[in-house]
Structure 1
């Protein structure tokens, strides 16, 4: 073979460039990206989320994005803000229509639907093994489907008990002694309800439970079922809701709250948070983002912290503090043209630097073992309460892609128990078959 020296040099240069393109992965656009994106152009990632739409979390969101773009100058984040109530349906519609965001925020109730609709990618080839190994076991179980991890747990939100110290004092209760048992909780709530109105003339309720149709109301009914010794599914994923007395006891409890006007009937969580913030609700079981929500909604800022306290959920029939934790999670779209850049963004959001920022703004926790143990995330009594609550908080059993639908159906149990005089067994007989149908294999 008679090859010219200049030809050999050209072949060598071309081969070197080819090898570089094939072996360099991190911070390098894919072949598909190269074909459509100029060499020095920024990659734009669409990030579907709801935290950019809410006053309490928007400042933290903006700071997180600014810090990421500062350290990743080749990547631009475009927020696709969708209100929480419409979030799941809008993301599914856009994804199935060929317009999927690159990165999806999710929660435990939405993730099974996104996985079941085949719109997101497994993460083992995108996210480092070190990060995946660091996920808290209870969280990892909730994002693993058919042996593959499809979502990266971001921030767990255990529900704990907030109480209003001002209303406590007016009701003759010790403002620094919250209830430790469910019986004490109910008695204290009855005394607060007897106040009838607060200083501004608004009606006062002792305790807030969500009783409006929707998946969140179903999730809070599940929390009550746990406290009464029941479950939604067994270890094999078979539906057991309705077995034993836990569901009946939970619905009788909600009816008692309704009849005695201890809880506002027909309220959803945003209503209850507003009532707690304006001093017309004695107790609210809510997540760790409550502090910032209440500061914002009250209009009093940090000064409002003097008017309330937070503690672990009182003990009911199981002998321990039973509660649930919701969890914000991060997923990468199957059709993303920038999967590597999306993985960079997701890995940043769960990092120590990002969680420290988010915690400073909203008091959130981390779903990574190493980050959750940092002093920066355990700096005050508020953080310590929620880290303590996580020890007995249960993840939602979301392996069934229809879990969110089941929670919506379950919410009708709460609605009927609080708005009708129909006997509880009849209500269960009417609604439970619809939930059972969703769990048929």
Structure 2
């Protein structure tokens, strides 16, 4: 395992070079201190007895404080937690989504490392490689970690250690517009299950226009040059039974599923079904305004849709990821997570208390049901009511897989975007584009 507290100049430089523009969401090393302190805290008659009454400040890095719709929840967490534990204060460290990772790394390099961070599972390799994120086993005991969906925990794994704690998760799933299905003469309760079925439906859906004469796109897959688009493309490759990396993090693209997925991207573009070079936020805009019939997104992307059109829940539905070629429709598991840094026993213990306070249905339930629609990952919340729009893809996370984590995963994802653009906007043939991708991708794998 890496030495987590060592911030090398090379690691800092590599991490600062990353651009994460996208969809915009203790113990000692043995773990014994967390268990003992936790027992003392829970057995005390007053919650203020936590940490023996010691005054502790948690520096919590969280980009969501700056995003409309999320601030109220997070400020509510701060208020409720500080009322329960009056000797512990939460101090927010904020920056926009695309800047928060670099800010945390810069602060740590200057000797001001946060205690915990809200982020995404794809950030784990960067923060571990920079010497920041520590294994969650240094904060939580085995009994608590066993309550989590193990697939979700594995999505946060790096170098054989789980280095992030999932708050909730989803797979890249299909959203579709029931009203447009009806207008095209399709059954709104029978979405496609395969890419072949999708293409048949897309032919009818592509003939529609909006009331003001705008084109309706049949199917949306993000291909813009941002890391999250690369994750979505990787997920599409999984749909076809393909791979980008093998289990050891080595390039593994000599498989039919990989080629079939890239060929499908070209087909969608040639037929005019997929908006070219679109970001997820572009697809959400089109879907919200009735200009996109089907598209792939993470579950919490629906928040962006309803922000644009509050009535979207009346026409939107979700479905399982499509099956392509010899694939079974597997998708990539995607999660929003908590990461932890090592600033000493008191800080880790305070972070443990905050986490266990948040990850309950009383605190988190309404948030993942109505604000950031997602699926619970902790046993105590498994039977909670979901956002109705997510019901059609309820089982998608059970068929989801994790891509191996490598330090330069974001760069590799950007190369996937370049590959997608080459066969669409660039008009390159699939075989040539794949070979160009192979040459570029070799720079990012060991």
Structure 1 partner of 2:291: 280
**Are 1:297 and 2:308 matched, yes or no?**
yes
Map 1:45-124 → 2, pairs under 5 A? 45-124=58-137
Aligned: 1:389 with 2:396: yes
Gap runs ≥5 in structure 2 = 1-34, 42-51
Shift of 1:213: 0.8
Match of 1:252 in 2: 263
Q: Could you tell me how far apart the structure 2 residues matched to 1:267 and 1:93 are?
A: 31
Higher deviation after alignment, 381-390 or 163-172: 381-390
The TM-score, its normalising length taken from structure 1, stands at: 0.83
Deviation at 1:227, TM superposition (A): 1.6
Off by >6 Å, runs of 4+ in structure 1: none
Contact 2:116 2:340 in 1 (8 A): yes
Q: Please state whether the residue corresponding to 1:93 is helix, strand or coil.
A: helix
Question: Can you list the C-alpha shifts for 1:354-413, whole angstroms capped at 9, x where unaligned?
Answer: 332323433322222x13422x2x356545434311111122322x22222211222111
* Aligned CA distance change for structure 1 residues 145 and 421 (closer, same or farther; 3 Å): closer
**Partner Cα distance (1:237, 1:143) in 2:** 15
Q: Counterparts of 1:25-424 in structure 2 under 5 Å?
A: 25=37, 43-195=56-208, 197-240=209-252, 242-298=253-309, 301=310, 303-318=311-326, 320-335=328-343, 338-362=347-371, 363-368=373-378, 370-374=379-383, 376=384, 378-379=385-386, 381-398=388-405, 400-424=406-430
Distance of 1:65 and 1:405 partners within structure 2: 35
Q: Secondary structure at the match of 1:390?
A: helix
Q: In structure 1, how many angstroms separate the alpha carbons of the residues matched to 2:203 and 2:266?
A: 14
2:29 match: none
2:13 maps to none
Q: Distance in 2 between matches of 1:416 and 1:98?
A: 43
Structure 2 counterpart SS, 1:153: strand
> Given the superposition, is the C-alpha separation of residues 409 and 284 from structure 1 closer, same or farther in structure 2, using an over 3 Å criterion?
same
Structure 1 stretches lacking a partner, 5+ long: 1-22, 29-38
- Provide the aligned C-alpha RMSD in A: 2.6
Q: How many residues align?
A: 400
TM-score, with normalisation over the residues of structure 2?
0.82
Rg larger in structure: 1
Q: Distance in 2 between matches of 1:234 and 1:414?
A: 21
Tell me, what secondary structure is at the counterpart of 2:104? helix
